[in-house]
Chains A and B, each alone.
Chain A
C-alpha cells in the first residue's frame, strides 16, 4: 500500500493504482474528464484531468499517472482550476450552442463542466465556428452530430478494443479532425448503442431515443436485462409508467460497462398492444372478462377429478418458479418442468450476448425445476389433465398449435396474449419484470435482483400473489406472502441458495458453485 496525500488529506491506495481513480475515491467525485473511461485504454487527449503533483514542474494528467508512495497531489489549486477552465474553453470553442435541441442536454459532461469550471462567454464568433456537419445516421441506431464532438476518442476506442469491429475512426487532422464511419461501413454491430452511452457529449445519440424524452424527466430503476442468460445489469429509465430506454449499469462480474443492442431494445416489449389486463374465463367466443375470485374458482372447478399439470418458464423469476412448485405439491399436481427443451436459443458472441435467450435458465437448473420435451408435453395432454402454464407460450414455442388441444383445459398466468393464452380457459394476468420484484440467476450462477420500476396494469397481479391465492382456494396456506418471503424460504430450504439469505445487492450475489438440485417431481417422473 502507498500513502498519498490528495488535497491535503492522506489516503492509502495500492501502489500503481490509476491516479484518476484514486482521486475519484478520495474526493468522492471524479476529476473533470472526457476521454478517460475505465473500460477503455488511456487516450490522454482531453487534457481535462490535470493535477498538480508536488515535485513535478508540469501539471500531469491523472488518468495516465500512477499512485506512488509519498505522492502529494493537488486537484483544486488555482493553477489547476485555471488550466482546466482554459482547456474547457478550447473544447467549447467550436461547439455549437444547440443544447435546447440536443438530446444529451441534462446528462452532458460539457454542460456539467461548464457549470463547474467555465461560466464565460463565447470567445469566437458564430460564423468562425468550423462546420462539421449534423444529423448523419451512421447506423441503424446511432446518429452522428460531428460538430458537437469533443474528439475524446471513446467511441473509436470502443469499436477497436471492445467489439473489434473498427467501424469508427477519426479522420483528418488538427481542428478539422472529425469522427466518422470508415468508408463503406456502417455502425451496425450489436453493441452500437454503447458508443452513445460513452459519448460524453451529444455527438452520438440514439436514433431510438432521440427526441422522445428529456432526460431530466426520467426516473431510474436498477434492473437486470431479460434478453439472454448473461443478465447484464441495467437501469430502466422511465417516466409515468413507460420505459424509454435501458442503460447498462456497471458490474465488473457480469457486463463491465456494456450492454448489447438486442437487450436494450427489449424495453419496447413492456408496453404492448397484446398486454393481458384482466382475468378472463372461457375460450374463443365464450371468453369473457372476469374477476379474480371467479377466475380462481374456475381453476378449482377444472381441477375437480382432474390432475393439474404445471409448467414453469425460464422467463419467470426464481421466486415464482419455487412458489409454483410448492403449489403443485400442495394440490397433488404434476410438475412437468420449467422449460421446453431446445427452444429460445440463437447465436451468441464472446462479448456479452449468450446463445441462450432466456434470463433464468440457470435458476431453473439450480432449483431442479427441469426441462421437458414436446413429446412429454403431448403425452401429458389428456382429458384427465389440466395444464397450468406460467409465462410461457408453449403452443408458440412448440410450433404446433394443436399440442395443447388434448388437455381438458389450460390455465395460464401470463403477461401478453399468445397462441397459448388464446387456448386458455382461464387467463390470470401478471406483471412483467419491470413491474415486480424477483431474482434471475445468470449463466454464471449469479443471483441478480429485479426491481419494480412502475406498476403494471391495474388489475394484473404479481405471480407470487396469484400462487398464494390459488393455494388458499385449494385450502392451503403458504408461509410466505410476498416475493421477499419466498426468497427467504428458498435461501433457507433449498441447498445452494444460502448466499441470498442476506438479500441481493445491486451487484448481485454469486451462488455456490455446483449447487444443483435433483429434479424433485420433474420431467422423468412426469413421463413415468
Chain B
C-alpha cells in the first residue's frame, strides 16, 4: 500500500495533543486563518472545495458532504450546524479518539463547516456516556474562545460563531439526525418525519446541517491541502481516509486511519494494522461498518476493500467504520442475540413496525436460544424482517433487520441447529364423537 498522509490521526501520539498550544504548534487553525482572513475564502468557496474533494458523511450514510451543505436554502432564517458526536453504533469508537486526542481539529472543522453554510451557531452533541469527553471538548472550546477563534468577529473577519457543547442522555436514536435535533430542542429523542428535511426545516425550524465528528474533522486538511490532494487518496468514489475501529479477536484491535480502497485482508493481517487473528482463532465473519450492516463471511471479508463501492458490491455497507471481526469460536446466534437485544432496547417506539418488530425478532431468537424454538422460526424471522424494512420513519428498523437476515442467511446451519426437527402435524382425533356429546 502506498504511503498516504495521516489526516485525522496525525496528532494522536503527540503529548498533550488535546491542547490548543500543541495543536497550533503543529499547524492547527491554519485552515481557519486561510479561509477567514481577508482575501481568504468565501463560504461558497469552502463549500465548493469540500464538494470537489468528494468527502462523504462519515456517520454511516456516506452522503457527499458538500452536496448536503448545498441544500441549505438562502433565507433570512438562522442556520445551525450540529456536530453529531453521539457515536453509539455498536463497534464504533472513532469519534471519541478525535475528541479525546484532537478536539481542536474538530472545532476548527466545525468553524469552517459553519462558515460554509453561513451558520452563526454550532452545537456539539456528545452522547451521555462520553461524560469525560464533554469536559475535554468544553475545555478546548473555552481555549478557542479565549484565543478569539470563537465568538464575535473571528480574526477580524466579521464572522461570528457561538459554539455550545451539549451532553445527550444516552440514546442510540439520538444519533439519527432528526432524533438529535428533537433531543437538542428538549423533546423526546425521536426521529422526525421527512419531508421536510433538516437542511430546510431543522433545529428550531431553521435550516440545519448535522455532520459527523469525523466528517468535519477532515475539513481543515482539505482547506489546507486542496481538493485534489484529498482526492489523490482512495478510490474514485471513495476519497480520502477513513477511521476504522477494529474490535474482535485480532492481535492488535484499535483505531486505524486507512486510505480508502485498502483491502480488508491488509487491514486484518497487515503488519501496519491488526497483524492477524489471535493464535488459535480463525476468521469466521466480519461486520464491517457497525452492527447495523449486513455481516460478511470470511471469504467475502477478504475479498472486500474498504471503500463504499466494494462493500456495496458484496451486499453490505461501509457504515460508520465500526469493524467487528468474528472468530470461529463465536456463536453467530448468540452474537445476533446481542445485536437484536440492542435494537429492541433502543427502538424509540414511534413507528409500529419497528416498535413491535424489533421486540418480536428479539423474542424469537431468545426462545430459540432457550431451546424453545419452533420449526418455522427462521422463516418467521425473515418474514418479520421483510415487513420492517423500509416501512418506518428512520432506518433503525432496517438496522435491526440487516444483521438479522444476513446472519441467518449466511450462517443458517448454526441457527437450524437450535430448532427442533420438523414434524408432521399430528392427526386430530376427536376423543368424543358427536353422538356421545352431552345434550
Contact = CB atoms under 8 A, between A and B. Distances in A.
Contacts of A64: 193, 195
Contacts of B380: 123
A128 B387 CA distance: 20
A150 B347 contact: no
A175 B193 contact: no
A241 interface: no
Nearest to B194: A64
Contact of A91 (B345, B346, B356, B363): B356
Nearest to B389: A58
A43 B191 CA distance: 11
Interface string A331-351: 000000000000000000000
A59 B389 CA distance: 11
Interface stretch (B7-15, B113-121, B390-398, B407-415): B390-398
B359 interface: yes
Contacts of A58: 390
A290 interface: no
A233 B391 CA distance: 38
7 contacts: A45-B350, A47-B391, A83-B391, A90-B357, A91-B352, A93-B356, A174-B349
A153 B349 CA distance: 11
B348 A87 contact: no
A44 B393 contact: yes
Interface in B322-376: 344-353, 355-360, 363
Given A130-B359, A170-B349, A176-B349, 6 more contacts: A47-B353, A47-B392, A90-B360, A93-B356, A153-B350, A172-B349
B348 A173 contact: yes
A59 B360 CA distance: 23
A124 interface: yes
Given A59-B390, A59-B391, A90 B356 contact: yes
A47 B346 contact: no
A151 B393 contact: no
Contacts of A153: 350
A64 B193 CA distance: 8
Nearest to A93: B356
A90 B390 contact: no
Contact of A47 (B347, B351, B360): B351
Contacts of B358: 174-175
Nearest to A50: B391
A47 B349 contact: no
B387 A45 contact: no
A43 B355 CA distance: 15
Interface residues of A, number: 33
B393 A175 contact: no
A293 B213 CA distance: 92
Contacts of A50: 391
B349 A177 contact: yes
7 nearest A-B pairs in the assembled complex, by CB-CB distance: A177-B349, A175-B359, A44-B193, A86-B387, A90-B356, A174-B347, A45-B350
Nearest to B347: A174
Nearest to B388: A90
Interface of A: 42-47, 50, 58-59, 61, 64, 83, 86-87, 89-91, 93-94, 123-124, 128, 130, 150-151, 153, 170, 172-177
A64 B350 CA distance: 15
Interface of B: 171, 188, 193, 195, 344-353, 355-360, 363, 380, 387, 390-393
Nearest to A150: B352
Given A47-B352, A64-B195, A175-B359, A90 B347 contact: no
Given A59-B391, A174-B345, A42 B352 contact: no
A222 B350 CA distance: 36
Contact of B355 (A61, A128, A151): A151
B387 A89 contact: yes
Nearest to A88: B352
B351 A124 contact: no
Contact of B344 (A46, A128, A174): A174
Q: Which of A43, A58, A87 has the most CB of B within 10 A?
A: A87
B356 A175 contact: yes
Given A64-B195, A175-B344, A151 B349 contact: yes
B380 to A, nearest CB: 8
Contacts of A151: 349-350, 352, 355
A67 to B, nearest CB: 14
A174 B391 contact: no
Contacts of B193: 42-44, 61, 64
A90 B346 contact: no
Given A87-B353, A90-B357, A175 B391 contact: no
A177 B363 contact: no
Nearest to A66: B195
B347 A45 contact: no
A46 B352 contact: yes
A90 B345 contact: no
Nearest to B353: A90
A389 to B, nearest CB: 57
A73 B344 CA distance: 34
Contacts of A46: 351-352
Contact of B360 (A44, A91, A124, A172): A124
A150 B393 CA distance: 17
Contacts of A44: 193, 351, 393
Nearest to A58: B390
B355 A174 contact: yes
Contact of A174 (B188, B353, B359, B393): B359
A177 B352 CA distance: 11
A130 B356 CA distance: 10
Contacts of B357: 90
B348 to A, nearest CB: 6
A188 to B, nearest CB: 24
A164 B346 CA distance: 29
Contacts of B390: 58-59
Nearest to B348: A173
Nearest to A48: B352
A123 B195 CA distance: 34
B387 A83 contact: yes
